[in-house]
Structure 1
Amino acid sequence: MKKTMILMLCMFLVLMVTACSQESPLGKSNDPAVKNWELVKESGMSSTVTLCVNSANEAELEWLKDDFADYLKLTYNIELKIIEQSQEKTFENLKSDQKNEIQMGQYDLILFDDTGFKDAMDAGYLFGPFANELPNVKLYLNPYDIEVRYDEGIEVAQYEVPIGRSQLSFIFNEDYFYEVPETYEGLFELIKTFQGKFIYPDPRLSPEGEAFVVGYLSRALDFEKLNEKLYSEAELYELIKPSLETLAAIKPDLYMAGQIYPKSIAEIDQLFFNEDLIFSMSMDYYHATDMLKAYEYPESADVFAMNEGTTGPVSHMAILFNSSNKSGAMVVINAMLSPEMQASKYDTRKWRQLPIYDPSYVPSEALAEIKKVKLKTSALKQDEILMYRIPELSPYYKNLMIKLWETHVLLETSEEAAQ
């Protein structure tokens, strides 16, 4: 009996030791990457990090100053200092630092809401590579996602990290039709059916108009090749010629026969409210809900996502070359990628920026926080939009496409388009 009890006790101790070795954080800390990150985090805690932001978006600025800053203070005892100034001013100061060989600069981080990365890389303003040292980059970002690998047509090369996206969604009046189109071909059929009831904003003046035109023209292109080779205007024209011809062909079916393209979504929303149009669109996934609440949309307004995809800008964060607190800056970017902060800035009452997570890639537990965000039925969920995303093109290609649209669609006569 004693032998049996001793044997059972030994087996129990072996199982306990095995379990502890599997669950102990000490065992995990033997990984050099984990050890390195712990050192970075320890170095960055209880410090001040300065972030340069160039944005007119009050919701974005408020979220950064309040929600995000509070999270950093509570979690890492980091003070986040926001510097609101133009990108040109930030670059001007960095250029001066380079010239005067100032190794400990006044800024740590920069937020690129649209463009600026390529210019900063070319000028040597950024620190890196660093992105793969961040645990949340490895956990939550799809390494094969072209928007994680490229920005403005060049490889990111771990010198910046994407933190969120915006994307075009469509708004329609259910009194006219209920079954929404899944493809652009289906959308154009509806435009022909309800002649004069659809228009998109001028892509030269409106972010939504640019997203609509560029998204449609680029939807079938090979983005890898576009980033690897700089196509000329003539070469790009040959690639998108059929799509340009389609946009020209539907002009007679547009509002006022496509002779006038509204300058902004505000103009289109007014036409939509008056039922002169039965379509609108927005880069804000909660825009229709707001407009319904304010009684500035028809009561039957609803939203839909195109399965063939839409596009929109990506926001990034980067560390500046002479940051005096690179460890703190890395902790801040890593925190921005956490499920808590991705869900917080997605919240309808806050920034309303779509998460950077790829819904088909990120672990389900990371999406749990995001799914807690409560939406009205007149708003699309993040996975309903991001699952059908067309990657953002570089400014070079976007500008070329708008130029080609101007030549072959805007200035095309109805008679020529019909031939």
Structure 2
Amino acid sequence: MKKNMSSIRTWSKKATSALVMATVAFIGSASAIEAKTVPWQETVEQSKGQTVYFNAWGGSEQINGYIDWATDQVEKRYGIALKHVKVSDTSSVVSRVLAEKVAGRKSNGTVDLVWINGENFRSMKQNGLLFGPFAEGLPSFQGVDSQEKPTTVLDFGEPADGLEAPWGMAQLVFIYDTDTFSRKQATPPANALELLEFARKHKGRVTYPLPPDFVGTTFLKQLLSELTPEPGVLLKPVSEADFDAVTSPLWRYLDELHPLLWREGETFPANNLALTPMLDDGEILLSMTFNPAYASSAIASGELPETVRTYVHDVGTLGNTHFLAIPFNSDSTEAAQVVINFLLSPEAQAHKADPDVWGDPTVLSMSQLNSIERKRFSSLPLGPATLSPEALGKVLPEPHSSWVAELEEAWKARYRQ
């Protein structure tokens, strides 16, 4: 096994470099879609009195609270009724809109706005389920610099083409309690290989969320990005790759890791939020999240102790953007665009970035904002467990969204029989 792990170590270093280079080349080929030219004030006038059914994940009190705040704001400012439809799985929303299209329901759709990215966006785009392009015609989109933040127009390898508007940034970070680590004289593992050694030294104290939980699947993709000898292939559709060859280092790694995990890898926490009380109770030593400010928010809410901090792997961690889109059969497309434009504004983005509110990093680039708008962000408390942009280090690109289903099915076939 030492020989195998040595090979994995070599692949890991080559993988990171090649993956980043391939991403730069791929993004460079993406072209923007010309925005629609409907006068914005006309859209605002037509939006008054409309109701927007916003289908968004409802599993976080902090996020729900932010959407409640936005609901009040758009009602007062624009006369729009925003209704948060809390969902647990966005794929169910995609299935519902698809069923409406198959049934010939071209208007009066049940969904006016959806929080989306990755394979769900790709599915809606390929099946013609989206209104637009609209995103680049929003006034607030002027604050987005796609050259600085290419994932604002490239969603898991799929060009957004103006069919969805960026809403927030995300990057995988790991969470630990400095007090516990000090007492154990432990050091946070800096990469996949060190994580395996850490799990061996602290048997039963490491785990990850059960795929297809988003963070659980992201953890698999993080490992794959570090371990595979063919990282550039991950940016292309999975159908163009030799799946077995690309993923074999991942399965070898997990075969060794799982017996060392919490409950010997026979049981996994249902989702990433389930890791928080486990870390707080000392049942596990490491947690993970795709929101760099989540740990600070959890400290503020009393869910985690003040000694908790976050870190990233030395080779970088996966990052992406999450988006807002409008289904093709919405009767409230004007109001949906006005809501999205508000959510993309510096005011709403800064409020969302506040760790006491949500702590979701902004998609806006400070270079695109004026001094007053920049001050909204510079005056925000960073949070005790939130890494600075410099400390977050290198962002590894997400594999093409088509890899998700294949990885999840392969994982299930191997470890859930």
TM-score normalised over the length of structure 2: 0.70
Deviation at 1:266, TM superposition (A): 6.1
C-alpha contact 1:201 1:265 (8 A) present in aligned 2 = yes
Native 8 Å contact 2:53 2:113 kept in 1: yes
Flag the 1:72–1:225 CA change in 2: closer, same or farther, 3 A: farther
Within 2, Cα distance between the matches of 1:101 and 1:180?
53
Secondary structure in structure 2 of the residue aligned to 1:218: helix
Distance of 1:292 and 1:324 partners within structure 2: 41
Q: Does 1:337 align with 2:341?
A: no
Please state if 1:140 is matched with 2:148. Answer: no
Cα 1:152–1:389 change in 2 (3 A) is closer
**Where does residue 126 of structure 2 map in the other structure?**
122
Residue of structure 2 in register with 1:47 after alignment? 48
- Letter paired with 1:391: P
Would the alpha carbon gap of residues 335 and 287 (structure 1) be closer, same or farther in structure 2, given more than 3 Å must change?
A: closer
Q: Distance in 1 between matches of 2:224 and 2:291?
A: 22
- State the number of aligned residues: 369
Instruction: Tell me how far apart the structure 2 counterparts of residues 154 and 129 of structure 1 sit (CA, whole Å).
Output: 15
Tell me how far apart the structure 2 counterparts of residues 326 and 130 of structure 1 sit (CA, whole Å).
10
C-alpha displacement of 1:345: 1.8
Deviation of the 1:374 alpha carbon = 2.1
Residue 16 of structure 1 corresponds to none
Is the Cα contact below 8 Å between 2:151 and 2:320 reproduced in 1?
no
Pair 1:197–1:100, CA change in 2 (3 A):
closer
Counterparts of 1:83-102 in structure 2 under 5 Å?
84=85, 87=93, 88-93=95-100, 95-96=102-103, 99=104, 102=107
Q: 1:381 and 1:152 mapped to 2: Cα distance? A: 24
Q: Separation in 2 of the partners of 1:120 and 1:111?
A: 12
Tell me, in whole angstroms, the C-alpha distance in 2 between the residues paired with 1:338 and 1:356. Answer: 10
CA drift of 1:235 comes to 0.8
- The residue number in structure 2 matching 1:203 is 210
Unmatched tracts of structure 2, length 5 or more: 1-33, 87-91
Instruction: Give the structure 2 partner of residue 230 of structure 1.
Output: 238
Q: Matches of residues 253-332 of structure 1 in structure 2 within 5 Å?
A: 253-255=260-262, 257-265=264-272, 268-289=275-296, 292=299, 297=304, 300-311=307-318, 314-324=321-331, 326-332=333-339
2: CA distance, partners of 1:277 / 1:107 = 39
Amino acid at match of 1:213: L
Determine the structure 2 residue equivalent to 1:81: 82
Shift in Å at residue 217 of structure 1? 0.9
Structure 2: how far apart are the matches of 1:180 and 1:364?
39
Q: Indicate if the aligned counterparts of 1:197 and 1:279 stay in contact, CA closer than 8 A.
A: no
Deviation string 1:130-175 (CA, Å, 9 cap, x unpaired) is 3332343343141575533343653322211221244432122322
1:331 is paired with a residue of what secondary structure?
A: helix
Superposition RMSD on alpha carbons, in Å? 4.1
Match of 1:158 in 2: 162
Select 2:403's aligned residue among 383, 397, 413.
397
Other-structure match for 2:378: 371
Distance in 1 separating the partners of 2:236 and 2:385: 40
Partner secondary structure for residue 378 of structure 1: coil
Given that 1:195 and 1:255 are in contact with CA atoms closer than 8 Å, whether structure 2 keeps it comes out as no
Q: Supply the AA of the counterpart residue of 2:405.
A: N
Residues of 1 paired with 2:343 and 2:391: CA distance? Answer: 22
Matched, 1:172 2:179: no
Cα 1:190–1:147 change in 2 (3 A) is: same
- Point out the more displaced range, 334-343 or 215-224: 215-224
The offset of 1:53, in angstroms, is 1.2
2:96 aligned with 1:68: no
Give how far 1:181 is off: 4.5
Q: Is the 8 A contact 1:78 1:328 kept in 2?
A: no
CA contact (8 A) 2:212 2:408 kept: no
State the distance in 2 between where 1:109 and 1:347 align: 24
Quote the sequence identity (%): 21
Say whether residues 1:185 and 2:189 are aligned partners.
no
Q: Distance in 1 between matches of 2:221 and 2:215?
A: 10
Residue 397 (structure 1) shift: 0.9
Pick closer, same or farther for the CA change 1:35–1:188 going to 2, 3 Å. closer
| Cα gap change, 1:373 to 1:122, in 2 (>3 Å) | same
- Name the larger-Rg structure: 1
Code of the aligned partner of 1:400: E
Q: Which amino acid aligns with 1:231?
A: S
Between 1:293-302 and 1:304-313, the stretch displaced more is: 293-302
